[in-house]
Structure 1
Amino acid sequence: MVLKPSPRGRLRVLGAALGVLTLGLALAPASAATPPNNGPEELSAQTVAAPAGDVSKSENIEHVTNLPKQAPFNTLEAFGTDIAFKQDYAYVGNYDGFVVYDIKNPKKPQIVTQVLCPGGQGDVSVSGDLLFVSTDYPRTNNTCTSEKTDAKDPNGWEGMKVFDISDPAKPRYVSAIATDCGSHTHTLVPDKAGEAVYLYISSYGPRAEFPKCQPPHDKISIIKVPLDNPAEPVIVDAPVLFPDGGNPGTPDTSATTGCHDITAFPEKDLAAGACMGDGVLLDISDREQPRVINQVRDEENFAFWHPATFNNEGTKVVFTDELGGGSAATCNEATGPTRGANGVYDIVGSGADSKLEFRNYFKIPRHQADTENCVAHNGSLIPVDGRDIMVQAWYQGGVSVWDFTDSTKPEEIGFFDRSAFDPAKLQTAGSWSAYYYNGYIYSSGIQEGLDVLDIKDKRTDPAKKVRFEEFNPQTQPVYQN
């Protein structure tokens, strides 16, 4: 997401430090139990009611269940965000921390624990017994009891936090490391020796008055976390991906001042970067020195390059345009079918000669109300051999399942869509992330909590046989039915 109000009502501002803060007295352990809803930052928060209203859906989608947000995350300010999976658990980020769900029985998911650790936007990934959580709003320090501060504060902190989740019911805060401009999103990339993981940090929004987020910021930060010593993460590099400055921007297109999101395909040594005004293809054969091998722009229709998704063969990339930053109503007739949509690109050539070639746009075919924030957002492949099928969140546009096997003719094959969260006014809500994991679709609602969907369709049924022990949507695995 881009420019939405922070959990405390101010517009998003960025600022961070470069350095390492290791485990010690400065790192207060996060609570493993649900904290009481009486902290100073929760007193004025408006409580969110359980999801209500009408639901429209395709016949091949079953709404299995919904588990509403629980205190202290049941407020309008506590946005539910991204999801990472390990075995029978889903780790769901939140602007105020994260929630651990037991999904062993997808029909009856249960909250195992909630960790109150504010900082936005709570982007998450997992590797073994480690959980990585992004902090993207300036805080007074790196603890879970920190307070908000301004990006102009030279002592402010933003970056990555590392938790031990060997006991999912009792996450333990291990370490933290600050990064320039914080961590809006991050991408987990395992090293080839299996001894460490790299985190590619995407952040943006530099300003001259932000001491820890200085322009031009045409770079990403790369953190290395030794698996046998996660208390000592290090920044190994901060490569400049856009030495020419990237897209300078237009009235309708964002300037490139960093990346918003990067999706890695480790087995192919590729990554796709959605970098505000640019879409890039990266060679990551050297994990510490990712290299841009192709760069594309769409100044007619793309306002803000957001996430990316490869197909299973690594021959296509879907880029998403988050027109309006996720807080605007853009799924309407006035906006049209090509803005706030997905762009489907084929990868032609190989190696250093690989290039992205545009094929077509895809946008949900249902117009939403002007009180519904709606635009293309986070999704993943549904693992079916021989077909390219994706499930995707569209905020209050709901969850869409669409087929891009023919890159030139993408089409929707299923959907789930609630009525407006607030019919009287535009309120940021809806599905932030929708991912397919071990037979079911899991949707993290900004206000709606966790939804579980089941798609029953001969085109997607083979995916029910595919099982993962661990799944990070921005770190794509290779699958076989």
Structure 2
Amino acid sequence: MRNRRPRTLARLTLAAALVTGLTGLAGAASAEVPAPPQTGAAKSDNITHLASKPMTGPLAGGVNTDMAFAGKVAYVGNYSGFAIYDIADPADPQLISQVSCPGSQSDISVSDGLLFLSTDSSRSDNSCQSVSQSPTIKESWEGIKIFDVKDPRNPRYVAAVETRCGSHTHTLIPDKARRAVYLYNSSYFPNATYPDCQPPHDRVDIVKVPLRHPEQAAVVASPVLFPDGGFPGSATGYATSGCHDITAFPARDIAAAACMGDGLLLDISRPERPTVIDRVQNAENFSFWHGATFNGDGSKVVFMDELGGGGGAECTPEVGPNKGATAIFDLEKRKLVFRSYYKIDRHQAANENCVSHNGSLIPVRGRDIMVQAWYQGGFSVWDFTDSAHPREIGYFDRPPRNPASFGGYWSVYYYNGAIYGTESVTGFDVFRIKDRRTDSAARVKLKELNVQTQPAFWG
């Protein structure tokens, strides 16, 4: 990695000019390739598939990852950069622009016209024209890039912050004074041969971004979350060497951190000094604590287990119902109390990668309902109001890829009346659910949604 300070603004401005030259592909580019049919897909009667928009231009051949939303715009991360869609008509999303900026995995969030992009692959520098370079080289770079997207047709690259061990994911924490945002950076897998990613990697880097001066973004704290070193590992569970993803619930000043062998509940009332409230260490059947979702009032949290790293066929009879699943915890006196597991019961083929993955809450007052991706297992809409007895109320199960290869839904999120999904290797999909149990959610209108920064819908 290169110096721990961001590159100069002049260097970034030059990079921005090169990047924005690749944008402006609105509408026409997405129309060049017909939407791929979902031939052979199985689904519940309450789910309608509205649209598929294939990857094009500099993102074609990449891997779609996470999403963020603001107004009537969706931002879609991709290993090769990111795309911006107009979703005013969910049944016909239009590509506004896309930016070529390679570097896995492009976890993405937006706030106040700024877009934050995670880079978790070692690069020659922090520009969007960088090339792969070994992390054993001190000058290599990984971290968080910042773009101005106030004009979504012309994204502008304005800053970059290097972080230790790169940036696999990041979580946006708003400053209570609304003058800045904090980014909790998650990364893992240190190595003694990596100059800027030395073990033990028992911390998270916290980046502060002044909203009026994003070029001044910098790491302001690196709190240690695992003074004892974290879970040491087992025959079935990963040892903890950092966090994979963190989901915040700012209204209650708490966050849930999924950290390989550990699940944490954090106090984030002082954003630069998060503290551990409670910890569950490698719960039974868990392999890799991957992500988390709170319910609408922050009284429950579910943790996902990414058994097999996202590439394994973990939805088979042999694996069973409790591994590669989602674990439901009630929060009782700020303690994580395990209640049950949830996993789709449609067995997938041995050549279909399938495991619990990214999802979001569907805001239904009085109920705990979420939609969740399962890679080639499609997605599931499920109710965990009764924490001990979760049940599915809708699904879309995409057909297996032929010939067999990696694919399926990376993230599936509900936003302002529609369900949006990033199909990893084909494109951007939109669905609608029509069901009396979820119809009231359409009345909840958000101005912005970063799924890992959950709003309090009530309570």
Shorter-chain TM band: over 0.9
Within 5 Å, which residues of 2 pair with 1:382-421?
382-421=362-401
Give the superposition deviation at 1:72. Answer: 2.3
Instruction: Give the structure 1 partner of residue 202 of structure 2.
Output: 218
Please report how far the alpha carbon of residue 20 of structure 1 lies from its aligned counterpart in structure 2 after TM superposition: 2.3
Q: Which residue of 1 aligns with 2:415?
A: 437
Partner of 2:28: none
Q: Does 1:57 align with 2:43?
A: yes
2:54 paired with 1:74: no
Structure 1 Cα separation of the partners of residues 243 and 216 of structure 2: 25
Question: Is the 2:161–2:218 contact (alpha carbons within 8 Å) kept by the matching residues of 1?
Answer: yes
CA distance in 1, matches of 2:393, 2:295: 17
Report deviation, 1:22: 3.9
Paired residue type of 1:334: E
What's the Cα RMSD here? 1.8
CA contact 2:170–2:183 (8 Å) conserved in 1? yes
CA deviation digits over 1:69-120, x for unaligned, max 9? 1122221xx1000000000100000001000011011011011111000011
Q: Which amino acid aligns with 2:300?
A: K
Equivalent position of 2:6 in the other structure: 20
In the superposition, relative to structure 1, how do residues 52 and 383 fare at CA in structure 2: closer, same or farther (>3 Å)? closer
Per residue, is there more helix in 1 or in 2? Answer: 2
Q: CA deviation at 1:151?
A: 1.2
Deviations 1:409-444 (A, max 9, x none): 00111001111122x43x111100000000000001
Distance 1:445 1:359, change over 3 A: same
Aligned to 1:324: 308
Q: How many residues align?
A: 450
Opposite residue 469 of structure 1, the aligned amino acid is K
Alignment match, 1:468: 446
Q: Which amino acid in structure 1 is aligned with residue 425 of structure 2?
A: Q
The corresponding residue for 1:31 is 19
2:431 alignment partner, one of 450, 453, 462:
453
**Matching residue's letter, 2:277:** I
**Match of 1:384, as an amino acid?**
V
Q: Is the 8 A contact 1:249 1:255 kept in 2?
A: yes
Match of 1:5 in 2: none
Partner of 1:372: 352
Distance 1:187 1:25 in 2: 26
Task: Specify the SS of the correspondent of 1:279.
Answer: strand
Q: CA deviation at 1:135?
A: 0.4
Distance 1:314 1:181, change over 3 A: same
Counterparts in 2 of 1:154 and 1:51: CA distance versus 1, 3 Å = farther
Q: Does 1:360 align with 2:340?
A: yes
1:240-289 deviations in whole A, cap 9, x for unaligned?
Answer: 00000000001210000000000001111000000000000000000100
Task: Name 2:226's counterpart in structure 1.
Answer: 242
Which 10-residue stretch deviates more, 296-305 or 365-374? 296-305
Question: In 2, distance between residues paired with 1:48 and 1:106?
Answer: 17
- Structure 1 residue identity aligned to 2:45: E
Structure 1 residue 32: deviation in Å?
A: 2.9
Question: Unaligned regions of 5+ residues in structure 2, if any?
Answer: 25-32
CA–CA separation in structure 2 for the residues paired with 1:410 and 1:299: 18
Verify: 1:105 aligned to 2:86, yes or no.
Answer: no
- Aligned-pair CA distance for 1:51: 5.3
2:265 corresponds to 1:281: yes
The Cα offsets for residues 344-376 of structure 1, whole Å up to 9 and x where unpaired, read as 000001xxxx11000000000100011110001
State the TM-score, normalized to the length of structure 1. 0.91
The 3 A distance-change label for structure 1 pair 48 and 96 is: farther
Taking the aligned partners of 1:454 and 1:370, their CA distance within structure 2 comes to: 29
Counterpart residue type for residue 31 of structure 1: V
Q: Distance in 2 between matches of 1:211 and 1:297?
A: 29
Q: How does 1:284-303 map to 2 (within 5 A)?
A: 284-303=268-287
Q: TM-score, normalised by structure 2?
A: 0.95
Counterparts in 2 of 1:106 and 1:234: CA distance versus 1, 3 Å = same
Give, in angstroms, the shift of residue 18 of structure 1: 2.7
> How many Å apart are 1:16 and its aligned residue?
6.9
Q: Distance in 2 between matches of 1:238 and 1:69?
A: 37
Q: Does the aligned pair in 1 maintain the 2:66–2:410 contact within 8 Å?
A: yes
Q: Which amino acid aligns with 1:165?
A: V
What residue in structure 2 maps to residue 12 of structure 1? none
Shift of 1:228: 0.8
Unaligned runs of 5+ in 1: 1-14, 37-46
Kindly state the Cα deviation for residue 17 of structure 1 after the two structures are TM-superposed. 5.4
The answer as to whether partners of 1:320 and 1:377 remain within 8 angstroms in 2 is: yes
Amino acid at match of 1:364: I
AA aligned to 1:21 is R
